[in-house]
Structure 1
Amino acid sequence: MKKQRVLTGVTTTGIPHLGNYVGAIRPAIRAAAQDNVESYLFLANYHGIIKCHEPEQIHQSTQAVAATWLACGLDTERTTFYRQSDIPEILELNWILTCITGKGLMNRAHAYKAAVDKNLAENQDPDFEIEMGLYSYPILMTADIIMFNAHTVPVGRDQIQHVEMARDIAQRFNHRFGKNIFTLPEVQIDENVELLVGLDGRKMSKSYGNTIELFLTPKQRQKAVNKIVTNLKEPNVPKFKGESAIFEIYQAFATPDEYAEFEKQLNEGLAWGEAKKLLAAKIGEELDDKTDAYHDLIANPKRIEDILQAGAAKARVQARELLVEVKDAVGIRTLA
Structure 2
Amino acid sequence: MLRLCRPIWGARGLSKTVKTTDYKINTTNIPENSVIFSMVQPTGRFHLGNYLGSVRVWKDLCDLKRPDCKLIFGVADLHAITIPIPNGQKLRQNRAEATASILSLGIDPSKAIIFNQSQVHQHAELHWLLSTLAPMGLLNRMTQWKSKSNLKYGADEESLGNVKLGLFSYPVLQAADILLYHSTHVPVGDDQAQHLELARTLGQSFNRMFKKEALVLPTTILAPTKRILSLLDPTSKMSKSDSNQNATIYLNEEPDSIVNKVKKAMTDSISHSFYYDPNTRPAVSNLINIVSGIQRTSISEVEKDISHFRSHSDFKKYVSEILVEALREPRENFNMYIKDPHYLEQVSKKGAEAASELAEKNLKQIKDLMGF
Q: Same fold (TM over 0.5)?
A: yes
Structure 1 residue 162: Cα displacement: 1.8
Where does residue 43 of structure 2 map in the other structure? 13
Conserved 8 A contact 1:90-1:147: yes
- The superposition leaves residues 40-96 of structure 1 with CA deviations (integer Å, 9 ceiling, x where unpaired) of 211111011001333343222211111111101112222221110010111122222
> Per the alignment, do residues 301 and 106 of structure 1 end up closer, same or farther by CA in structure 2, a change over 3 Å counting?
same
In the superposition, relative to structure 1, how do residues 277 and 310 fare at CA in structure 2: closer, same or farther (>3 Å)?
Answer: same
Structure-1 separation of matches of 2:141 and 2:304: 50
| Secondary structure of 1:51 counterpart | coil
Aligned partner of 2:231 in structure 1 is 199
Residue identity matched to 1:62: R
Give the secondary structure class of the aligned counterpart of 2:364: helix
- Confirm whether residue 215 of structure 1 aligns to residue 252 of structure 2: yes
| Partner deviation per Cα, 1:133-166 (whole Å, 9 max, x = no partner) | 0222122111101110111223344433322222
**TM-score normalised by structure 1 residue count:** 0.82
Q: Between 146-155 and 157-166, report the one with greater CA deviation.
A: 157-166
Matched residues, number:
325
The reply on whether 1:143 has 2:186 as its aligned counterpart is no
1:230-245 mapped onto 2 (5 Å cutoff) = 230=267, 238-241=272-275, 244=284
Distance in 1 of aligned mates of 2:70 and 2:369: 27
Note the C-alpha offset of 1:282: 2.5
Task: Identify the residue that residue 324 of structure 1 maps to in structure 2.
Answer: 364
Query: Deviation at 1:10?
Result: 0.7
The question of whether the paired residues in 2 share the 8 Å contact of 1:41 and 1:81 is answered with: yes
Q: Is the 8 A contact 2:226 2:289 kept in 1?
A: no
Q: Which residue, out of 345, 352, 355, partners 1:305?
A: 345
Deviation of 1:284 after TM superposition, in Å, equals 2.0
Consecutive unaligned residues of structure 2, counting only runs of 5 or more, are: 1-30
What is the rounded CA distance, in whole Å, between the counterparts of 1:34 and 1:99 in structure 2?
Answer: 38
Distance 1:46 1:161 in 2: 20
Query: After superposition, what is the alpha-carbon deviation per residue over 1:245-287, rounded to whole angstroms, capped at 9, x for unaligned?
Result: 5544444444769957852551xx4x54355444333222221
* Matched ranges for 1:1-336 at <5 A: 2-35=32-65, 38-55=70-87, 56-111=89-144, 118=151, 121=154, 123-125=156-158, 127-190=160-223, 192-200=224-232, 202=234, 204-206=237-239, 209=244, 210-230=247-267, 238-241=272-275, 244=284, 246-254=287-295, 262-266=305-309, 269=310, 272-332=312-372
With the length of structure 2 as denominator, give the TM-score of the two structures.
0.75
Farther off after superposition, 224-233 or 291-300: 224-233
Relative to total residues, which structure has the larger helix share, 1 or 2?
1
Considering only CA atoms, is the larger Rg found in Structure 1 or Structure 2? 1
Distance of 1:123 and 1:259 partners within structure 2: 45
* Residue range with higher mean Cα deviation, 282-291 or 314-323: 282-291
Identity fraction in percent: 26
Question: Does the 8 A contact of 1:82 with 1:311 survive in 2?
Answer: yes
Say whether the 8 Å CA contact 2:47–2:249 is kept in structure 1: yes
Deviation (angstroms), 1:205: 1.4
- Give the conservation status (yes or no) of the 8 Å contact 2:306–2:315: no
SS in 2 for 1:42: strand
* Unpaired segments ≥5 residues, structure 1: none
Counterpart amino acid of 2:306? E
- Root mean square deviation of aligned Cα: 3.2
322-331 or 144-153, which moves further after superposition?
A: 322-331
**Cα distance in structure 2, aligned partners of 1:200 and 1:115:** 20
For residues 282-321 of structure 1, give each alpha carbon's deviation from its aligned partner in whole angstroms, at most 9, with x where no partner exists.
2222211221110111111111111111111111111111
| Structure 1 counterpart SS, 2:94 | helix
SS in 2 for 1:226: helix
Deviations 1:195-236 (A, max 9, x none): 345424726512765222221222222222221234578xxx
Find the aligned partners of 1:162 and 1:254 in 2 and give their Cα distance. Answer: 29
Secondary structure, in 3 states, of the residue corresponding to 1:188?
strand
Q: CA distance change for structure 1 residues 196 and 157 in 2, over 3 Å: closer, same or farther?
A: closer
Q: Residues 199, 77 of structure 1: CA spacing in aligned structure 2 closer, same or farther, 3 A cutoff?
A: same
